[in-house]
Amino acid sequence: MSHDHHQLDLANVRYQYGNKEALSDVSLSTHCGQRLALLGPNGAGKTTLIRLLAGLLDPQDGTLNWREQPLATFRKEIAYLPQADHHQRHFPIRVRDVVAMGRFPHIGNLKRFKKIDKEKTEEAIAIMNLGDIANRQIDQLSGGQQQRTFIARALAQEAHVLLLDEPFNGLDIESRCHLSDSLFDLSKSGHLIIASHHQLESVTEIFTHALVLDQKQIAFGPASEVMTSDVVKHTLHSCHPHLHDRAL
Amino acid sequence: MIEPFDLNLYQRGLVAALIIGFINGYASAFVLLHRSPLKLTALSHSLLPGVAIATLMVGLGVVSAFMGAVSAAILIGVLTILLSRETKIDDDTILAVLYTGAFAAGIMVLSRLGSNQDLDSWLLGNILGLSDLDLKMSFGVGIIAVAILSLFRRSVVINLFDPEVAASLGIRTRLLDYASFAILILVLVTTLQAVGCILAIGLIVAPAAIVRPFISTPDALFPLSALVGAGGSALGLFLSYHLDQPAGASIAATLAGLFLISVALCAVFRRVV
């Protein structure tokens, strides 16, 4: 299960929407086993970077390499988890079917859903403690349960990298703790976790590393070092002034 | 009770109702999950001028009607996208303006064609008047539509659930969207002669809406909607004979009635449980 040696390398990544520069000069290296927080004010480029990593956008400049090869060649190893309320409402689908979607990169449209696919799906359901609610409709679940379902889909996909967009948004305290524990367990088992995050007070508790963006890379490194840097405090202060003295 | 099906006219009508009901029922699962019945209403009305102009140019025939309808649907679809981009007006508004305009133009062209081109049959259909070629065409298009939607059902369902996740899983979502709508246009065109462009929308929306309260997975929705579409259409045809009503209207009304019964049954079931 462990893929600790697998490395993600970004070099001079740049993206713009029309004439508007969304992201530039992003360069970093991270690897499986780490939990990387993407921080920055609204419009800083966090979601753009996640979408670039998920293959939903192509960079205008720079390279994104995974295991020393272009990231695009390893699509099935990268799982994208949008915010919990991103999917279509009232869609008639059970938790088990959503988790099974993770097998699509392995079986496509035409191959049969075999025993191995069923086993991977059930294993992911068991790891995320979804057994009791596996036959419930996805819209009957709380935000925290939905996040666990989507993480299970990533596990069924056998993804090495999990890209999460604001995963803690809208969760109650208990769900936040459960999700935080899940992310810790996943990185311990060799997954690379990359998540955009707004709750600055919890960055060092949840994440090992942090990347601060403000349409360009402001800082990158171990979370405890990044969060105490003056330039980072200044950048993040603009979006969280009340946290300036208390949390940073 | 089976008296109407002793008649050749009704036998042919029954075969048409089963085929067209089945195809539309299967496609209705996609329409329900895509939440696009209003777009399809617009599309079905915009087929009329295509049929009318094709008839004006080369005379009425299955192939000319088919080509005309497809051309009109593509033209209205492309115009909607272009005008929506240029004017910043949302595409539903533009579609509503264009389809009513196109529908009006279709009525005017058909009225110019004279009494031998029966306007009512294009508006309300004539399922009992379908030729062998019409039936073969419906059957052929039906097999293609159901086969494609079945083969690509995994992609289709993931794309309908969350297009961005679908794209991240390697599904070519834009191509899938275009292909899905092309199939819906084909289904609509083959339905046009049977129940007309106004009632066609009932066939391609109602079956999945009837089934939806009782199912929990898309895998069940597609085949059950197809069976309900076929059964409901056959029942509608049967009732039209006994109540002496137009067949197309009877089919659409029967499906609407089944939908209300389904909703009522679901409400009762929930109270009991």
> For residue A242, is pLDDT > 60?
no
CB contact under 8 A, B216 and A137: yes
Mean pLDDT over the full length of chain B: 86
**A62 phi/psi in degrees, rounded to 5:** 90, 175
CA pair distance A137, A89, nearest whole angstrom: 11
A129 within a domain of the structure (yes/no): yes
Beta-carbon contacts of residue B57 (< 8 Å; ≥ 6 apart):
B64
A184 within a domain of the structure (yes/no): yes
> For residue A246, is pLDDT > 60?
no
A230 within a domain of the structure (yes/no): yes
Nearest chain B residue to A158, by CA = B169
- Between chain A and chain B, how many beta carbons pairs sit less than 8 Å apart? 75
Q: Indicate if the alpha-carbon torsion angle A56, B38, B18, B264 is positive or negative.
A: positive
ipTM of this complex prediction, to 2 decimal places: 0.88
As for how many domains chain A has, the answer is: 1
Interface test with A, best of B151, B159, B161, B173 (most A CBs within 10 A): B161
DSSP code for A241:
G
Is residue A25 classed as helix, strand or coil in its secondary structure?
strand
| Kind plus residue range of the DSSP H or E element containing B166 | helix B163-168
Percent of all residues in chain A with a pLDDT value above 70, rounded to a whole number? 94
> For residue A247, is pLDDT > 60?
no
| Kind plus residue range of the DSSP H or E element containing A5 | none
- Measured between beta carbons, the chain B residues lying within 8 angstroms of A86 are 162, 164-165
Beta-carbon contacts of residue A55 (< 8 Å; ≥ 6 apart):
A71, A72, A75, A78, B167, B168
pLDDT in tens, B63-112: 777 788 888 888 887 888 788 777 878 878 888 888 889 888 888 887 87
A226 within a domain of the structure (yes/no): yes
A186 within a domain of the structure (yes/no): yes
What's the gap in Å between the CA of B188 and the closest CA on chain A?
Answer: 24
**CATH code where residue A117 lies:** 3.40.50.300
| Tokens coding B167 | 């794209």
Please give the distance of CA B5 from its chain centroid, rounded to a whole number: 25
Q: Which of A179-183, A198-202, B51-55 has the highest mean pLDDT?
A: A179-183
> For residue A245, is pLDDT > 50?
no
| Tokens coding A247 | 């949390």
Please give the distance of CA A184 from its chain centroid, rounded to a whole number: 13
For A119-164, give the secondary structure using H, E and C.
HHHHHHHHHCCCHHHCCCEHHHCCHHHHHHHHHHHHHHCCCCEEEE
A1 within a domain of the structure (yes/no): no
Of B162, B171, B217, the CB nearest to A94: B217
Interface test with B, best of A87, A141, A162 (most B CBs within 10 A): A87
Provide the residue count of chain A.
248
Mean pLDDT by 10 residues, chain B (273 residues): 64 91 95 84 83 78 77 83 80 85 86 65 79 84 91 94 94 89 84 82 94 91 96 95 90 96 90 71
Tell me which residue range forms the domain holding A30: 7-243
A2 within a domain of the structure (yes/no): no
A248 within a domain of the structure (yes/no): no
pTM of this structure:
0.87
Map tokens 């002496």 to a residue.
B244
> For residue A73, is pLDDT > 90?
no
> For residue A157, is pLDDT > 50?
yes
Interface test with B, best of A53, A78, A80 (most B CBs within 10 A): A80
pLDDT in tens, A13-70: 999 998 888 999 999 999 999 999 999 988 899 999 999 999 999 999 999 999 989 9
CA pair distance A121, A115, nearest whole angstrom: 10
pLDDT of residue B39: 78
